[in-house]
Amino acid sequence: MRKSILGIALGAVAIAGIGFVALLVAPGDGSQTDAPVPDLSGLWAREYLGFEPPESGPGPVANLSRIPTGQSNPDELVGDYKNPLLKPAAAEVLKTRGEISLSGKTFPDPSNQCAPHPMPYILWQWEIEILQRKDEVVILYMQDHQFRHVRLNSAHPTHVTPSWSGDSVGHYEGDTLVIDTAGVKVGPLSMVDVLGTPQSEAVHVVERYRLVDYETAIEALKRADKEHIHVLPEISVGDGVAVDPAYRGKGLQLQFTVDDPNVFTMPWSASSTFLRAASEWREGVCAENTREYYANKDTAIPTDDTPDF
């Protein structure tokens, strides 16, 4: 496999394990209904790379490169630059990145460059942990220490200082955690997905997390399997990126909508469905690994030969 997000993620798995305990408490200001706060806490995993297309309406950009089964090819990330959702400048960026992938190389992305994962790119990750607290929800992501803080029952400030994760505010609507994110920082590696679809400072993401019964989760995963292969069959349960095969409880479903008028002609939606993880994950230390295992050479890290004194 060439230098891809899959290769980077697998190479970043370190030896140390991480475990957290989530605290479930009521919302902060008492403005919600009397309905109990859904318990979304704990470790959740999925075993495919990419997003589930919606059952109807505009969905995410698809990969033009396919394997014989018709599923997306994780070794060639060639976004459909002819998708009518894309504005011309965005289509050109996506086309260029796809040509790089077809040439046998990998275009730089936040994962293979060990850079911060902006919203909504970060939503591709295989395993997450949700910590529900009184005034905030914290979402931890497996790869490279990524995390997000979501303020509950709050509003975006009038002037948001851009950051990679953006400014996220959330609230509970019955059995659903709704998160609204704006103010995402833009840089050379900014992209919506692993295909390299670009984004701008105007990107606005709304996420909805809720528990679904096991049968509903399995049906969603079957739809995902039509588009994506299971990219982690060789990863053992102990590595923490596999679903517990014995689990038959409720799944966690994330449905999100992306709106970026500078890039897309209209908003689009996608989903990710998780089941309980088989074990605690292992710590990913991508930023500390200077050896490009896939190319057998050291990463070109900036250096300064000037003496300190």
208 is a domain residue: yes
Residue 64 is part of which domain span?
5-285
Confirm if 283 and 9 have CB atoms less than 8 A apart: no
241 is a domain residue: yes
- pLDDT tens digits, residue range 164-204? 999 999 999 999 999 999 999 999 999 999 999 999 999 99
293 is a domain residue: no
272 is a domain residue: yes
SS3 193: coil
296 is a domain residue: no
- pLDDT tens digits, residue range 63-76? 999 999 999 998 89
Q: What are phi and psi of 222, to 5 degrees?
A: -65, -40
- Residue 264: beta bridge partners? 86
172 is a domain residue: yes
- pLDDT tens digits, residue range 41-53? 999 998 888 899 8
Lowest mean pLDDT among 218-232, 237-251, 277-291: 277-291
Q: What are phi and psi of 125, to 5 degrees?
A: -60, 150
84 is a domain residue: yes
Domain count, the chain: 1
307 is a domain residue: no
pTM of the model: 0.82
